[in-house]
Amino acid sequence: MANGKSGNGKKTSSSPDSFNQKESSLRSSASLTVADVRLRLLAWCSGLLLMFGLLKFGTPVILQDQIESPQGWIQWFFFPWPIQTAYMMFAVLGMAAVRMLPFRVKAMPKWLWLPLAWLAWQFASAFFTIDQKLTHMVLAHFMVLVGLFYIGFFMLSKNTRLKGVAGPATFGLILAMWTATEQKFGGLEATKQAIPQSPYFDTGMTWNQVYPQAFLEKTIEDQAWLQSLRADEDMLQQTAQSLGLVPLLNPQGAKESQLERDLAFLEKIGKNRVFGTFGGYPNALAAAIWLLLPLSLVCIWQMTHRLQKPSRALITGLVAVWAVACVVWSGSKGGWLIGMLSVGLLFLLSRVSRRVKAALVLALVIGGSFAFAWKYQAYFEKGATSVGARFEYWKAGWHTSFEHPLLGSGPGTFMRAFAKVKPDDAEMTRLTHNDYLQQASDAGWPSAIMYLLWIGGSLWIMRPKSLANNLVYEMVWIGLVALAFQNTIEFGLYIPALSWPFFLLLGWLWGQRLPQPGPKPAFDQASSDLASS
């Protein structure tokens, strides 16, 4: 019927002319200006940077010298990329950001000078570093992180729904999860079987030409023996001598030897822990999931707006279950606990009574703890070796921080400082497995305090009051809190795939807290109008 009556008796019109008039009005309100086009370009450049970061830059920045430049399009498609490629991509993003000048805000709050002060302190520490090469790699990475923070704050703040950013980031996370799933269902086993005949880095040789076949098979299949070999320096020396591998071993321990590096790689492959696109780091995969999953679920819900709500809920729920399965397959103990934290934050922010919140959180803690203890019972029976190793790293970090309290040993140089105090039975590492403590060890206590104030203070100030006020904002905040806590036992600051989205979204979050001058961008306004219509 073209005409009808409303509840108060007045006539309403649903004619095609009325609908066309409403659609025309919507189109005119959503007309794009030059500034809108530039903002959309910046948003998509930012989203693509995060997507490629997840897929190609999942290795710690101080290990980038081990990443070979791909040869041919097949290697470019499947293999990780050298960090120089990342810096070229950031330069493209920087040029897109320059087109957004003048800045969204004319003055920067005093609090937001802290990242620049922290970066300046890194440069001051660099003058007294004990390893120039490591420090230069880390400084370049830190400059990108601070740049991303300010791009998020100054440029992306008007993009309140993260349109153009959330989509590519979600796609990158799904591809990383797809890779992890493939590893779980045959990929890792196939990799183990193929190692002996696989190329040995860029030497032109295969693994079985460098190591005896029997030795490779034993290291891959017997994880207990391999862990004992890596932990016992005398056993490692004797094995190297008996197999003629002494040239691959550095007896002074000044740095990680070729043999130690290869044994670490073989142990990662032999554990059957999926790592997706994160270069053998299962904990990094779990961290990426908890960082981006909340935002990705909102993005998927919005992208399926043409479907009915039950279908949308089913699709979104399946992605959530898939993500949790990937965390379980990764074997990340920290990832399990951070997942409990994320769900607990959802409960605490939900709009239910305090009694219901308390019941939900209590059930989560009890149920999650029992499941955690059951899942990793064998791990704790063996002595929780990774926990003990972390205590050794943290002890060394404290030692270095008090030995060089003002400027540290130099950005990125923990492995050099650790080598001087490493116990004979301790496993060599390049990072402290605690980003906050590593700041004190590498660049002194002033750097650690500034970094902690920057990250911890920002997340505390920007905490939301409850869910559903601004769902994108709230999901981003939960993801950032998850990674900030996981970095107390990991090194996400030094992995581009994790630190890029963290600092870009942290800057964006700050921008949302300030008054938004001027009208909302047309493409952002249009999507809001369509969603509410």
pLDDT in tens, the chain (533 residues): 444 444 444 444 444 444 444 444 444 445 667 777 778 888 898 999 999 999 999 999 988 877 777 777 887 888 888 888 888 888 888 877 776 655 555 566 778 899 999 999 999 999 999 999 999 999 999 999 999 999 999 888 888 889 999 999 999 999 999 999 999 998 888 877 878 888 776 667 888 888 888 888 888 777 778 877 777 777 878 888 887 777 777 644 445 677 877 887 787 777 788 999 998 899 999 999 999 999 999 999 999 999 999 999 999 999 999 999 999 999 999 999 999 999 999 999 988 888 998 999 999 999 988 988 888 887 777 767 778 888 889 999 999 999 999 999 999 999 988 888 887 767 778 899 999 999 999 999 999 999 999 999 999 999 998 877 789 999 999 999 999 999 999 999 999 999 999 999 999 999 887 765 555 655 565 444 333 33
**What is the Cα Rg of the chain in Å?**
26
Cα 440 to the center of its chain, rounded Å: 22
Q: How many CB atoms lie within 10 A of CB 522?
A: 19
**Is 100:40 a contact under the CB 8 Å cutoff?**
no
Cα separation, 379 vs 383, whole angstroms: 7
3-class SS string, 136-157: HHHHHHHHHHHHHHHHHHHCCC
Which runs of consecutive H residues, i.e. helices, occur in 243-384? 258-270, 282-303, 309-330, 333-349, 354-375, 377-381
**pLDDT one-digit tens code per residue, 376-396:** 887 777 767 778 888 889 999
How far is residue 448's CA from residue 446's CA, in Å, rounded to a whole number? 5
DSSP secondary-structure letter at 158?
Answer: T
Rounded CA-CA distance 404/410 in Å is 10
**Whole-prediction pTM value?**
0.85
Please list the alpha-helical segments (H only) found in 406-519. 414-421, 435-443, 445-452, 458-461, 471-486, 496-513
Q: Which residues contact 369 (CB under 8 A, 6 or more apart)?
A: none
Which position has the token pair 């980038």? 64
Establish whether the linkage from the previous residue to 515 is cis, with ω within 30° of 0.
no
Element containing residue 352 per DSSP (H, E) = none
